[in-house]
Amino acid sequence: MNKSTFFIVGQHPVIEALKNPKRKVLKLFLTEESKKNIHRKSPRKNLLEDVKVYFKTKKELDKYSTKENIQHQGYVAEIEKLDQPILKEYIKNKQNLTLACLDGVTDPRNIGSIIRSAAAFKIDGLIVKERHFPSESKLMFKAASGCIEYLNIFEVSNINSTLKNLKDKNFWIYGFDSEAKKNFSDIKWEGNSILVFGSEGEGMHKHTSKYADFHVKIEMNDQIESLNISNSAAIVFHHLSYLKKNLD
């Protein structure tokens, strides 16, 4: 069965897709300058081997990115979706997992930035609602800056039933809520954890928040109402990465 294909643009998304042995790159559109740069970035391995490469001018490549108003930097690729990891299989016999879960976050740039931070700070995976996840978004791939190739992304049909199942499998659920009393850095992070982030403005859905064992917040200046969701997630991911590093 043929998988659906789509286009991504930008230096980091395209180069990291080429480096990923699990990612099928069908066509590559480059300027002469970006071809030279690929060889400089990967002198030991020819990333263009077994890939159909087409050379285009910058102007010819503009048509792939002007609609989204993003810079292609001389790199465009047509790729296939990755095989989707199955959450139920992934968590088997694993301890001290940290998974992030997005409840109602739909902006592709924010999701891409969260993916980038999650990969950078070694979060074990990201749970998203299949229907709301912009899996073929050029904006998301560009914001993730290639990090989407290094993160387990679990697309589920229902966030609430997924959280319920994970609770039954001894995961602690932490809901991030600016109105919460407890600061997340005061938590003793142990065992398997799910970090639930709601949408900007509305936060977690009311029904989803009921599945949280703890409601926590990022303590900050009282005069500042809130942080961008991707900034909030990055702060939390860094803190937990720091704790894990010092516990090992």
- 59-97 confidence digits (pLDDT tens): 999 999 999 999 999 999 999 999 989 999 999 989 999
Mean pLDDT of 36-41: 84
Is 223's pLDDT higher than 90?
A: no
For tokens 């980038």, the residue is 116
The span from the CA of 112 to the CA of 143, in Å, is 5
- Helix, coil or strand: residue 50: coil
pLDDT given at position 3: 76
Q: Nearest 5°: phi and psi at 229? A: -55, -40
Q: What is the CA radius of gyration of the chain?
A: 19
On the question of pLDDT at 235 being above 60, the answer is yes
pTM of the full predicted structure?
0.94
User: What share of residues in the chain are helix, strand, coil (percent, to 5)?
Assistant: 35, 25, 40
Q: What is the pLDDT of residue 188?
A: 87
Percentage of the chain exceeding pLDDT 90: 76
Q: Which residue has the tokens 């398997």?
A: 192
Q: Is the pLDDT of residue 18 over 90?
A: yes
Query: Dihedrals φ, ψ of 217, to 5°?
Result: -135, 165
